[in-house]
Amino acid sequence: MATTTQEKQSQAGRHQEVGHKSLLQSDALYQYILETSVYPREPESMKELRELTAKHPWNLMTTSADEGQFLNMLLKLINAKKTMEIGVYTGYSLLATALALPDDGQILAMDINRENYELGLPVIQKAGVAHKIDFREGPAMPVLDQLVEDEKNHGSFDFIFVDADKDNYLNYHKRLIDLVKVGGLIGYDNTLWNGSVVAPPDAPLRKYVRYYRDFVLELNKALAVDPRIEICMLPVGDGITLCRRIK
């Protein structure tokens, strides 16, 4: 079947930015945001890491540049000093966090793949913020269980960012709610999951999108009724839900 002129124009105009997960209907509008607001203010180290990550075969996993800018601003607004990140990849969001924290800030960073982290580590080191990062290779759950066991860790984190295995998001939340301080924030990434959260059951979806969609939907429903938090779901990147602990 012949492709219509409109479809051809749409395909030609699709944004090719690595990590492009914007849910905006217009890619031209997303490009405008990047070129007007994000790229002119992007620190040189973050630009270098973004371009380095673009060459990696799994580059779709990276945090988008506009979300990196958002996280950096958010951490400054809340004066975060001690944070946690579950799911690091090459470290773009981790670098955004490290640059926002004071010199004595601390980030507990966890990922199952050290090799990906070490790809971006030279850039992080050159930026002068590697000393803020305590990287742990392996599943996050055992580390979280160990932290929760010691009550000294309860309420000790200002901000926690989760961008990892979606099928464990609820399990993470059960533990993280004790570790973040009252008034602190947890950010769950990908909560709009490629827009699939509103897709009909028979919609043609990639296997991994379809597999994780139910877990994302379950998380979203649970967060919406959790009395311990206030929430705000934002259409930044692939959707990020901010949870402010209130009790």
pLDDT of residue 9: 40
pTM of the entire structure?
A: 0.90
Q: Report DSSP state, residue 56.
A: S
Mean pLDDT (the chain, rounded): 91
User: Is 43 contained in some domain?
Assistant: yes
Cβ-based neighbour number of residue 211 at 10 Å = 12
Q: Model confidence over 41-83: pLDDT tens digits? A: 999 999 999 999 999 988 888 999 999 999 999 999 999 999 9
CATH number of the CATH domain containing 34: 3.40.50.150
User: Is 21 contained in some domain?
Assistant: no
pLDDT of residue 57: 87
Provide the number of structural domains found in the chain.
Answer: 1
Task: List all residues 6 or more positions away from 231 whose beta carbon is below 8 Å from its beta carbon.
Answer: 223, 224, 241, 242, 243, 244
Phi, psi (degrees; rounded to nearest 5) at 133: -105, 130
Q: How far is CA 126 from the centre of its chain?
A: 23
User: Is 2 contained in some domain?
Assistant: no
pLDDT at 239 over 90: yes
CA dihedral (172, 178, 181, 183) in degrees, to 10, reads 80
Q: Model confidence over 165-197: pLDDT tens digits? A: 999 999 999 999 999 999 999 999 999 998 899
Please tell me the least confidently modeled range out of 2-11, 177-186, 221-230.
Answer: 2-11
User: Is 13 contained in some domain?
Assistant: no
Round to whole Å and give the CA distance between 22 and 44.
Answer: 23
Round to whole Å and give the CA distance between 19 and 55.
Answer: 12
Round to whole Å and give the CA distance between 56 and 40.
Answer: 24
Confidence of residue 15 (pLDDT cuts 50, 70, 90): very low
176, 148 contact by CB (below 8 A): no
Enclosing domain of residue 162: 27-245
159, 75 contact by CB (below 8 A): yes
Average pLDDT over residues 13-40: 74
pLDDT of residue 21: 57
CA neighbor of 176 nearest in space, from 207, 203, 140, 205: 140
Please tell me the least confidently modeled range out of 10-14, 115-119, 239-243.
Answer: 10-14
